[in-house]
A and B are shown apart, each in its own frame.
Chain A
Amino acid sequence: MVTPTRTRAWDVAATVLDPELPVVTIEDLGILRDVAEDDQGRVHVQITPTYSGCPAMETIRVDLVDALLGAGYQHVAVEFVLSPAWTTDWLTDEARAKLEAYGVAPPATHVADGPVAVPLSVRCPQCGSLDTRESSRFGSTACKSLWVCQACREPFDHFKSL
C-alpha cells in the first residue's frame, strides 16, 4: 500500500464518513486512494469500492465533492478505481477500534491472496464473549455478515474479511 502525501485536499477528503458506518471515515476504511491537487484549485480524487456493487459509492462521491467545494476548491473530479482490489487488510487499527465501539465486530486480518478467512469465532462487540454464532454470511450490506451472541443474546454485524 502506497502511503499518500498528506496535502490539505487529502485532509479535507479524509473527513468524509462512510454513509453506512458513519463512525469511520473513507480514509479509515482504505476507500480513499489518492487525492491530487494543482495550483488552479482543481482536485482529482480516487476512491475504490469495497464490493463491486457497493451502493454507497455514489453518496461518497457527492459527499467528497461537497466537502472539497466547501473547502474552497474550484473543481473536483472523483474517479472510481478497481485496482488494486480493496481488502479489509487496509482498515486501520483506529478503524477497527471505532467499528467495535460502534457495535460492529471488525474483520479478522488474513494473509493476502489466501482463501477467504472464516474465523472460528468472532468476539461480541457488546459483551466481549467469544460464544457467538453466524446467523447469515450476508448482512445488511455486502461487506457485513450477521451474528448472534449466545452470552448476551444480542445480534450484531461483523465486517467480513475480504
Chain B
Amino acid sequence: MITPPDSSPPPLRSSGEQSRGAPDPAADRQAKQLFDYTLALADDALVSAQRMGWWISRAPQLEEDLALANIGLDQLGQARTLLAYAGQVEGAGRGEDDLAYLRDERDFRNVHLVERDQSDFGVAMARLLLFSAWQAELYGALRTSTDTTLAGVAGKAVKEVAYHLDHARQWVLRLGDGTEESHERMQAALDAEWRYLLELFDNDWLDGDLVEAGVAIDPARLCDAVLARIEPVVTEATLVVPEVAPAIGGGRRGLHTEQMGYLLAEMQHLTRSHPGATW
C-alpha cells in the first residue's frame, strides 16, 4: 500500500514523542523501525497460531486438542494486539485484519521456525519447546520496554507462555524418556527443529536505534538465557543437544520457505475470496 508521505496521518507513538503536521523524516524513519519490529513479533505469533490450529481434531487425545487450541489462541491474541498496534504505528489506515489477510508472503516477517509443516507430533512439541522458551525470554525482557504498548503485551503474554513452555517440556520429557521408538522420533524432531533456532537470535535486520532507545530487545542477547531454558529439558529427557548446521533463514527480510505460501493460502483464502465478508 503506497500513501504519499504528506497525506498520511502522523504515526502514533506511545513513547511520548510529539508529532507535527509537517513531514518529519526522522520521525517517519522511527515509525518505520517500530512498525517492522512489531510486525516481526506479531508474525511469529500469528503464523505459529495458524500451525497450532492444524492440530485441532488431529491431536493424539481430546485433552491435547484442547491444549494445542488454547496455546494457539493465546498466540493469536498476542498477534492481534501486536498487528493492531503495527497498523496504528504505520498510520496508513491498515488494521489487524488487513495486515493478517492482505499481505503477501514477502511482507511477512516471521522466522522459518514457526512456518514449516508440523504434522508430526514430536516436531510440534520440539518446536513449541524452542519457540516458547524464546518467547518467555523475549516477553520477559520486553516488559520493561519504553514503548508502553509493547510492554503491556509482553506483561500479559509472558504469563501465558509459561504454560506453553511447561506443556512442551512435559511432552518432550515423556516422549524423549519413553519407549525406544518415541525416544528416536523425539530426537529426530529436535534435530530437525534445532536448525531453525539460531534465526531467532539474528539481529542484522533490527535497527540499533530501537534497541538503544529501550523500545526493542536485541535478540542476540537472549541466546544464552533461551538455551539455558531448553538444554536442561533436552538432557532430562535423555536426549542429546543437537549439533547441526543452522538453516539459512531470512524470514525477517521476507524470504520464506516453500511451505509458507501454502500456509498463507489457507489462512487468507476466505478474506481474499470474499472481501469484506462478515458473519
A binding-site residues for B, Cβ under 8 Å: 49, 51-55, 81-87, 115-116, 135-142, 146, 160, 162
- Neighbouring A residues of B178 by C-beta, 8 Å: none
- Neighbouring A residues of B77 by C-beta, 8 Å: 49, 51-54
Within 8 A of A (CB), among B75-103: 75-78, 80-81
Asked whether, in the complex, the Cβ of A116 is within 8 Å of the Cβ of B162, the reply is yes
Most buried by A among B149, B159, B162: B159
Within 8 A of A (CB), among B133-166: 148-149, 151-153, 155-157, 159-160, 162-163, 166
Contact partner of A116 (CB less than 8 A), chosen from B73, B152, B159, is B159
Chain A interface secondary structure, helix, strand, loop or mixed?
Answer: loop
| C-alpha gap A51/B71 in the complex (Å) | 10
| C-alpha gap A10/B149 in the complex (Å) | 26
Asked whether, in the complex, the Cβ of B78 is within 8 Å of the Cβ of A53, the reply is yes
Asked whether, in the complex, the Cβ of A82 is within 8 Å of the Cβ of B63, the reply is no
Q: A52-B81, A55-B73, A142-B70 are in contact. Are A83 and B162 (CB under 8 A)?
A: no
Contact of B66 with A by CB under 8 A: yes
Interface size class, chain B: 20 to 34
Asked whether, in the complex, the Cβ of B63 is within 8 Å of the Cβ of A85, the reply is no
Contact of B67 with A by CB under 8 A: yes
Asked whether, in the complex, the Cβ of A116 is within 8 Å of the Cβ of B153, the reply is no
- Neighbouring B residues of A51 by C-beta, 8 Å: 73-74, 77, 156, 160
Closest to B153 in A: A82
6 A–B pairs (Cβ distance < 8 Å), ordered by A: A52-B77, A82-B149, A87-B159, A137-B167, A138-B63, A138-B70
| C-alpha gap A83/B159 in the complex (Å) | 13
| C-alpha gap A72/B277 in the complex (Å) | 33
- Neighbouring B residues of A139 by C-beta, 8 Å: 66, 70
| C-alpha gap A139/B71 in the complex (Å) | 11
Closest to A146 in B: B63
Interface 0/1 of B50-69, CB less than 8 Å to A: 00000000000001101101
| C-alpha gap A141/B69 in the complex (Å) | 10
